[in-house]
């Protein structure tokens, strides 16, 4: 098993009933790197992202063909444990979605449900460490019992990241996770992504070309359900192989 690769995706096809949403996707996701998925709305980016932690399983009539290996293990095999998969692969959504509970309860939720904290002291340490990693601890340490919905949108999104980190994942998926935020909050999240990739493999979906160029190591362009081009970000933005990629990057299409 190649330790430099977290995901290997081979000949992936995905269907919503009779709609062929993803067509023969092949790519590898590098460990401790940021991979950005770009492309116009409806091109399959978010569908692909949700394939990586089997969130599409909740939609009736969906079908997957091909292989997705996480650390060499087939996540769609009959023996695969979906609960364990979603513990390994955390997800941050487009709009912040903190629970209407205290800041503390939001971060402690995962460890409590999964039973991963061995004691109250261990749980306190997990909560604090997760908030520190999400660059939020200093802002909330004196108001942990305050309702999470009282935080600003940017703080709420960092709280959602802390909630994911508390389950100790290997991978963090981010689906347009800054699109609802103002420019300053967006830059805070982008800085955070750069810090987090030291410990996690991160895959982001973004419509923001500048964001993809700023934060990612690898970029893939999706178009009508196909992966048109996938390469190091610098190559995608400065010397793409495909004419369609260049047209999308320069704004001529999409």
- Give the rounded distance of the alpha carbon of 101 from its chain centre: 24
Cβ atoms 169, 200 nearer than 8 A:
yes
Per-residue pLDDT tens for 39-96?
999 999 999 999 999 999 999 999 999 999 999 999 999 999 999 999 999 999 999 9
Dig out the tokens for 153 from the structure.
């949108």
CA dist 57 to 26, 31, 52, 70, 143, Å? Answer: 21, 25, 11, 17, 38
Dig out the tokens for 186 from the structure.
């967006």
Cα separation of 13 and 10, whole Å?
9
Cα separation of 185 and 178, whole Å?
8
pTM (predicted TM-score): 0.95
Per-residue pLDDT tens for 143-176?
999 999 999 999 999 999 999 999 999 999 999 9
Residue 220 banded pLDDT, cuts 50, 70, 90: very high
Q: Where are the domains of the chain?
A: 5-100+172-249
Which of the two residues, 102 and 250, has the higher pLDDT score? 102
Assign a CATH topology to domain 5-100+172-249.
Answer: Rossmann fold (3.40.50)
């Amino acid at each position: 098993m190649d330790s430099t690769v977290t995901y290997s995706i081979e000949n992936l096809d995905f269907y919503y009933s009779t709609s062929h949403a993803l067509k023969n996707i092949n790519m590898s996701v590098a460990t401790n790197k940021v991979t950005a998925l770009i492309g116009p709305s409806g091109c399959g980016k978010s569908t692909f992202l949700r394939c990586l932690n089997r969130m599409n399983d909740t939609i009736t009539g969906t079908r997957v063909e091909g292989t997705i290996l996480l650390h060499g293990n087939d996540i769609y095999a009959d023996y695969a444990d979906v609960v364990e998969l979603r513990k390994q692969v955390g997800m941050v959504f487009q709009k912040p979605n903190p629970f209407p509970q205290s800041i503390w309860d939001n971060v402690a939720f995962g460890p409590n449900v999964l039973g991963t904290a061995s004691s109250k002291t261990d749980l306190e340490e997990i909560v604090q460490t997760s908030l520190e990693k999400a660059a939020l601890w200093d802002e909330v340490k004196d108001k942990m019992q305050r309702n999470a919905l009282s935080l600003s949108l940017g703080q709420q999104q960092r709280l959602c990241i802390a909630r994911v980190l508390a389950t100790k994942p290997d991978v963090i998926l981010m689906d347009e996770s800054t699109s609802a935020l103002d420019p300053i909050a967006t830059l805070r999240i982008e800085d955070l992504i750069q810090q987090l990739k030291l410990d996690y493999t991160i895959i982001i979906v973004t419509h923001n070309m500048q964001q993809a160029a700023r934060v990612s190591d690898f970029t893939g362009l999706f178009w009508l359900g196909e992966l048109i081009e996938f390469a190091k970000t610098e190559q995608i933005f400065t010397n793409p192989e495909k004419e369609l990629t260049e047209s999308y990057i320069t704004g001529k299409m999409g």
